Every structure is written in C-alpha cells, then in structure tokens.
Copies of this chain bind each other. A is one copy, B any other.
Amino acid sequence: MNRPATPLHAPLPELAPRAIPAAFMQALQARFGSQCATAQIVREQHGRDESAYAAMPPPDAVVFAESTQDVSDALQLAHQHAVPVIAFGAGSSLEGHLLAVQGGISLDVSRMNQVLSVNADDLTVTVQAGVTRKQLNEAVKSTGLFFPIDPGADATLGGMCATRASGTNAVRYGTMRENVLALQVVMADGSVVRTGSRAKKSSAGYDLTRLMVGSEGTLGIITEVTVKLYPLPEAVSAAICSFPSIEAAVRTVIQTIQLGVPIARVELIDANSVRMVNRYAKLGLREEPLLLMEFHGSPTGVQEQAQTVQDIARELGGNDFEWASTPEERTRLWTARHNALFAAIASRPGCKAISTDTCVPISRLADCLLDSVAEADASGIPYFLVGHVGDGNFHFGYLIDPDSTDERARAEQLNQSLVQRAIQMQGTCSGEHGVGLHKMGFLLEEAGAPALAVMRAIKQALDPHNILNPGKIFSL
C-alpha cells in the first residue's frame, strides 16, 4: 500500500459515445421487430438506475430478449458492428452499472423469467436470468426449501450474479459467490457457454462460474442460473436489541462472530435509520441504534444461539431482546430493513443517496465504522447507516441534493475517506454492490495495477471489441 495517493473516486469516464452504424440498427430491428424499442421513455428507463448519477443520454435502443437465442443473436450483431450492449434486469444497481456511457443497446432480460427446474432432492434450482429473488422463493415455497440471498431490491438472479450480490443472510449462507453452481452465459461473440454443473463441488477446469459472477456484464451476459437452496430451518426466531451506542452494538456483533455463533442475520440500524423507517413504515421502534437479528436451527439450537448473543449484548449495555413472535411480525421487520433506502430517500424529498459499501475484517469493524460515523456527523450531510455487520459490511447513505455540487463533493469526500480507511484495514471498497462507474478509482487503489492488468487482459481476450458494458469496473 505504498502507492502514491491518487484521487480515488472517478467521475464519469470521459468516453465518447460510439457511433451506432445504421446497418446495425436496421439489422437489429429486422431481427427483433417489436422486441426492439427506441421510444424515448423506454430508453430513458433503461439508461438509469438507483445510483445518484445525474441523467445522461440513454441507450440508443432497448432489446427485450425472450430467449438465450435472442441474447446470442443480439450479441452477434453487436460484436460484428462493435456496438455496446448493457444487460438490464430489474434496474436496481446502486453504482451506475446501467448508464450507457458510450451509447449502444440495453439488453433487457426481464422477460426471461421462467423457473426452469426445481431439483428439490438436490437442493438446487435453475432459472432464467430475469427471475427475481422473490419470484424464485415463491416458486420453491412448496418444497420446504428457500434461497437466502436477499439484496435490498427485488433484483433478478442474473443481476445478482453480475454484481456478486449478498444481503442480510450472507453471514450464515454466503453470497452469490458461494451459492451459484452453474451458469449459462452468452459471450461477446454470441457463443453460448455453460459453466459448472449441478455437482456441489468440482475441480474440473477454470472456475468460469465465479469469473462471471461479479463481472458486471463486462465478460458475458448471463441467461440461466443454477443456485443452491436450503431447507427452511426447523425453528426461526427474530429479535431486536437496542443499544446505548453504535459502538456497543458493533462490539456485540464482533464477539458473536468471533465465538462462531451461527447467527443467520445480524443487521445494524443506526438511530437515523430507525427514525426514517419508523416514519416510513409506522413501526414504533425505539429510536436508538439497534441490531435486528435472526436465528435459524433446531428449537434448542436457536435458543442456545440467542442466549449467547443476549449475554454478550447485556455485558455491553444492550437492552433485553424484543422478540418478533409471529412470522408476520418478522416479515414486517425485515421488510422495513429492506426498505431502509427508500425510507431514507423519502425523509428528504428530492434527494438522492450516495451509498457506501466497504467491508472490512471483523476485528476492524468498530474502528472503521466509528471513525466514519464521526466524520459523517461532522459533515452536516444527512445520512443513514445500515449494515450487514456480521460480515464486516455496512452502508452509509449520504442523502444529497442532487443539484448541489457542494453536497455531492462533500459526500464523495466522506466516501473516499471511508474507502481509504477500509483498504488500509485490508478490507474492500465493495462488499456487495459492485464497482460499476462509482468505484473505478477505488478498485485501482484496492487491487493494484498488476491485478488490474490481469483483469484487463481477460476482458480483452473475451471481448476484443469492448462491447460488453464498456467503461465499467476499469478503463481499458
């Protein structure tokens, strides 16, 4: 880490939009007919996401793929004409992944929403990339199994693969990295590749599955996804514990993890966030920092886990656990947690949220987080703080007036300071949202130039015309 300090946060890359050849548009429309939209409103819907970036010119067209063949045909054309292609699922990126920085087409896979095969006896399911996490869980409900990965949004499985998503259950069940068994991917030239198998483990060749997971649409477009499922736990208990300080809450989490308690979910919600979700969802929670926890296991196992954590919490000044006694009450709490972003945005009408996403080794969590809280408090920028703290991952959302250059700059300065702190602690700039546009400078700082050179070499080998989501993750 002795590299000279560089400006960490990259603004929008200064890439000229590419000329879209008329022959390409003609061929595209001939092939896709009404599946190809050029209406302004459709293009605009596909040229933005949940990030705080200001609007920029949208993609030149939107193709609604209905099959792998559609994706392959669109990519063959784009490859031939060197036209950018940006895969689109639910549009819930927080990092600018969907912005058409060089124009081109948005390839919307949301119509590819078939659950292809539920293999309950093997605890696996295969779906098309446009299936969302909620739809997936609905589809497997009757089997007694569930899919745990739950980013805030009801994202598509394809998008969740592409950003290596995780969420509140990752502390126990892992992230997309650990839970994807196999993929079908269309490569830049339109060739269709299957990666992995339904075997639980494999040493057969390069791990193309995990190369594609987290590649943010820059190496291929994911069309089918096979993931692991888990038996619904015999017993589930959810509890809230409020604390006199963020520090007490965080130290409770650190000790819980270090003891190896197999807690299923442990989310930090700061007092700001509690106020916001209280107002948004009429929850009436005590407006103090709190942990929202869930325990999975046998009835005795759940009791043992909860007792251990309650003991730790009490020693650190935490209050008695308040239990969510019914499944409905549990769902209400977790929905509130998932809606924290929307509650925050609603708290300052017209604002946008600049979200941070650092993740650090658990022993450094308190240091990293508390210093950043102090900086955020001092800045005067309204913010909320939530986190998958069991993994060492947390999110500040700085609520800025998007028209205020000053607020944006101050928020980005807070973000930059936090990221530098996390990297110094051997952590990462992104726990689960991906790099997109927003963290390109951070990635260079974190990974270093030699690792970036390897990533570039792979990108150039697999996408020689740089058509797949160009201008994202790193510059070429």
**Residue positions of A touching B, CB distance < 8 A:** 119, 121-124, 163-166, 170, 174-175, 177-178, 187, 191-195, 197-208, 210-211, 213-215, 219, 230-231, 233, 257-260, 297-298, 300-301, 304, 357, 359-364, 391-393, 422-423, 426-435, 439, 442-443, 446-448, 450-455, 457-458, 460-462, 473-474
Contact = CB atoms under 8 A, between A and B. Distances in A.
B214 A122 contact: no
Given A210-B210, A211-B211, A432-B203, A258 B362 contact: no
A48 B119 CA distance: 42
Nearest to A390: B200
A423 B196 CA distance: 11
Given A199-B361, A359-B200, A431-B199, A208 B454 contact: yes
A451 B210 contact: no
B198 A433 contact: no
A178 B455 CA distance: 21
A455 B204 CA distance: 11
Give the number of copies in the complex. Answer: 2
Contacts of A259: 231
A461 B453 CA distance: 11
Given A361-B119, A361-B124, A166 B201 contact: yes
Contacts of A426: 197-199
A257 B454 CA distance: 39
Contact of A362 (B123, B192, B260, B300): B123
- 4 A-B pairs closest in CB distance: A231-B260, A461-B461, A121-B363, A210-B210
Given A200-B392, A455-B205, A193 B450 contact: yes
Nearest to A174: B178
Contacts of A453: 191
Contacts of A363: 119, 121-122
Contacts of A191: 450, 453
A427 B219 CA distance: 25
